[in-house]
Structure 1
Amino acid sequence: MRTPLPRPLAPLAATAACTLLALAAAAPGTAQAAPHDVARQILGPNDGWASEGSGTTGGAKADAAHVYTVTTWQEFTAALEAGGDAPKIIKVKGVLNATAAGCAAFEADGYDFRQYLADYDPAVWGRDRPVSGPQEDLRAASAARQSEAIKAEVPANTTIIGVGKDAAITGGSLQIKDVDNVIVRNLTFEAPLDCFPQWDPTDGATGAWNSEYDAAVVYGSTHVWLDHNTFTDGRYPDSTLPSYYGEVYQQHDGLLDIVRGANHVTASWNAFRDHDKTLMIGNSDSAAATDAGKLKVTLHHNLFEGIVERAPRVRFGQVDTYNNHYVVKGDQHYAYAFGIGFESQLVAEKNAFTLPEGVSSGRILKKWKDAPVTAERNYVNGSAVDLIAVHNAEFPAEALREGAGWSPTLRARVDDPRAVPGLVGGKAGAGKIC
């Protein structure tokens, strides 16, 4: 039975204070709308790559019949399906839980995790061949059920916005796939937990558990603006996950992936917290047919706190990262912030980094493949640091080339990097515009 659509509602009036806060959190001209309804704000001119060409307006032109307020995951997915590509606004109120029934609801008949562990124990199965057999087939069938239940396909010309300070999506994966003109704002995303990770005994020297599902994916889409959201592992940090076969039972993938020919994306004033593989731009070195000349992404005024790596990791794209604040906690594992990948052209300017004792500035950059990079006027613990110079001094065998070969022009607001920790700390993340 199809879930009934929520009753269309006229746009709710935003308070004057909410609108003023939203406008203060963005540069003049970067959030344009009638002052009574923050849900109809659009990305302003010159605000990153998503402002290129036709710009990003989402569902700002939606009529009253295509404005919905939703309070459940079922209402949310039904609203996404309604009206095709006609402009629409979906207002999320409260917490939408895509996995409220728990993992058992997705299990295929006959799947038994204890039997799975027994069948593929390296002492029994070995480490030289991928797993196969009845329990692996049942795990895959269970995973397919979860995938269908938690993925929400976002159509073109859509604005999704949280109402108030506590709007959230837990257990769901937002799929912005092969569409144009999408806005996502003021939501907290708790990264979905993969109920059925696959054991791969051939992954590395000792094998690994591999999981699926990102909190949000921009796949082959254009003109996407993600603003004032919080992305986090929430109640389920990796430290709470069990281990089997001596490896962490990894149930998280990424927080935000921008892949498969996606283009003209701006991510601004978001908070990314307490996660491992955080933000990937371009997912394969062999994807030149779809990715070359695309993956143009701007990241500005975002907070990256307690993240391990990929903030971002880049392949192919012309990626502009400026005025972001990176906070490494003293008790966390840390790998790197900027991953320099195949044919990437990353520009990293006027960012701020707060590093604890024992974490060197040379680790901020990570060379995966030879590619040029621009890293200028960045500050670490309040002092200007040449990130390329310190990286190359510490890791001479992995020396990076200076000069990304292009200069960003789509920047509506640029702040002194010494002011970034206070600005971003106070204004980034969900609950800061309404």
Structure 2
Amino acid sequence: MKFLETATVALTAASTAYGVPVEKRAAAVNELVGFGAGTTGGGSGAGTTVTSCAGLTAAAKTGGVIKIKGTLTGCGVIRFDVPGTSILGVGNDAGITDTGFRFYKTSNVIVRNLKLYRAPKGKDLIDIESSTKIWIDHNDFSSVGITGDKDYYDGLLDAKAGSDFITISWNKFHDHWKGSLIGHSDNNGAEDKGKLHVTYHHNSFTNVNSRLPSIRFGTGHIYSSCYNGGISGINSRMGAQVLVEENAFTNVAKSIVTNLDSDEEGFATAKNNIFNNSPTQITKQGSFVPTYKYTTDPAANVCSIVAKSAGVGVVTF
């Protein structure tokens, strides 16, 4: 693994967009924190390098460390159900197109340094189902933008059916209708209540219409992320608890909302965020307090921080 940044990063003048001095990043860019802590994936071995859909499909059946070299196109939805799997992009241009990953009834999975573009019709780029201990880090998720049929593609990154203990960090999400759905149905409380614990930190959401994320039943911690555009941002539903802190929102019609799309409201706590033309609609105050250690970066600086330190090519393999 190559780490292409120094331990502290001097940020660009973009930090001054909110009228504050340029500051260095506080949070570590190559560290797993949050609900997904303890995930080890396929370990530290050399693993298998794949350059074709057939190679990736075969590697998925055995797990371990899988390294993708180049862009794989038209692979369909590839199912991963072997515990202990890492899917890593080689260099700064590895990824998938017209392809999706489905993690089904598995655990201990890592996905890092991949460009994921356009899922198969009606599918997700990443679908986490009945799975635990997942780390999604330093990837780029997108499709063709907010155009055409909003249901032609499904989500960029969804988790459902009692999935649990997930960290989603340092990713760039952009140009898509539906971002990240946690909990797929108002009628799935029997399976989802007490689960769906997800940490989002140091991500950017740009030109994504909704679900940034949308959470039913579960517990979400969303911090130090950058939001630009969209109709609904963080949507807490069906009794979900979310803590939203040190994020910067610009031109998000409903930046944090608790009474949208479901019959039962959710709960939200907003702390030290910046809202630029991005009103909140919080009808129930949340009570979730994290018990794990974590480091935030100030909302005034997060957009320049994630522009430089999120996405692919920062931590490479």
Q: Do the structures match in fold with TM over 0.5?
A: yes
Equivalent residue pairs, number:
297
Per-residue CA deviation, residues 355-388 of structure 1 (Å, 9 max, x unaligned), is 2xxx65xx2123223222111110124xxx9x8x
**Offset, 1:238:** 4.6
CA RMSD of aligned residues (A): 2.3
Give the Cα separation in 2 of the matches to 1:191 and 1:81. Answer: 23
Alignment correspondent of 2:244? 348
Change (3 A) 1:59 1:420: same
Could you tell me which of 287, 297, 304 is aligned with 1:415? 297
- Structure 1 segments unaligned to the other structure (5+ residues): 1-13, 32-42, 100-148, 195-211, 242-247, 329-333, 393-398
Give the one of 237, 245, 251 matched to 2:145.
237
- The one of 56, 63, 80 equivalent to 2:60 is 80
1: CA distance between counterparts of 2:269 and 2:150? 37
Structure with the largest fraction of strand: 2
**Equivalence for 2:136:** 226
Instruction: Quote how far apart the aligned CAs of 1:178 are.
Output: 0.9
User: Larger Rg: 1 or 2?
Assistant: 1
Paired position in structure 2 for 1:216: 126
The corresponding residue for 1:167 is: 94
The share of aligned pairs that are identical, in percent, is: 33
Aligned match of 1:401: 284
Which of 207, 228, 231 does residue 335 from structure 1 map onto?
A: 231
In the alignment, what sits opposite 2:307? 425
Q: Which residue of 1 aligns with 2:48?
A: 68
Mapping 1:102-117, distance limit 5 Å: none
Match of 2:110 in 1: 183
Q: Which has the higher helix share?
A: 1
CA apart distance, 1:21: 2.3
Q: CA deviation at 1:20?
A: 4.6
Distance in 2 between the 1:295 and 1:409 partners?
16
- The one-letter amino acid paired with 1:182 is V
Q: Deviations over 1:231-271 (max 9, x none)?
A: 000xx3353x4xxxxxx484211111011100000000000
* TM-score normalized by the length of structure 2: 0.87
Listed one character per residue, the Cα deviations across residues 177-227 of structure 1 (whole Å, up to 9, x for unaligned) are 111101000001012141xxxxxxxxxxxxxxxxx2100011111110000
Match in the other structure for 1:19:
3
Contact preservation (8 Å) 1:238, 1:250: no
Q: Is 1:391 the equivalent of 2:271?
A: no
- Higher mean C-alpha displacement, 264-273 vs 249-258: 249-258
Q: Is the 8 A contact 2:60 2:78 kept in 1?
A: no
Offset at residue 58 of structure 1 (A): 0.6
> 1:237 is matched by which residue type in structure 2?
G
Letter in 2 for 1:58: G
Secondary structure, aligned partner of 1:98:
strand
| Gapped regions of structure 2 (runs ≥ 5) | 10-24
Q: Name the residue aligned to 1:245.
A: none
Which portions of structure 1, spanning 4 or more consecutive aligned residues, are displaced by more than 3 angstroms? 22-31
Pairing of 1:23-62 with structure 2 (within 5 A): 31=30, 44=32, 47-51=33-37, 55-62=38-45
- Asked if 1 retains the 8 angstrom alpha-carbon contact of 2:109 and 2:135, the reply is yes
Partner SS state of residue 306, structure 1: strand
Q: Secondary structure at the match of 2:294?
A: coil
| Paired residue type of 2:184 | N
Q: Return the match for 1:284 from 169, 182, 185.
A: 185
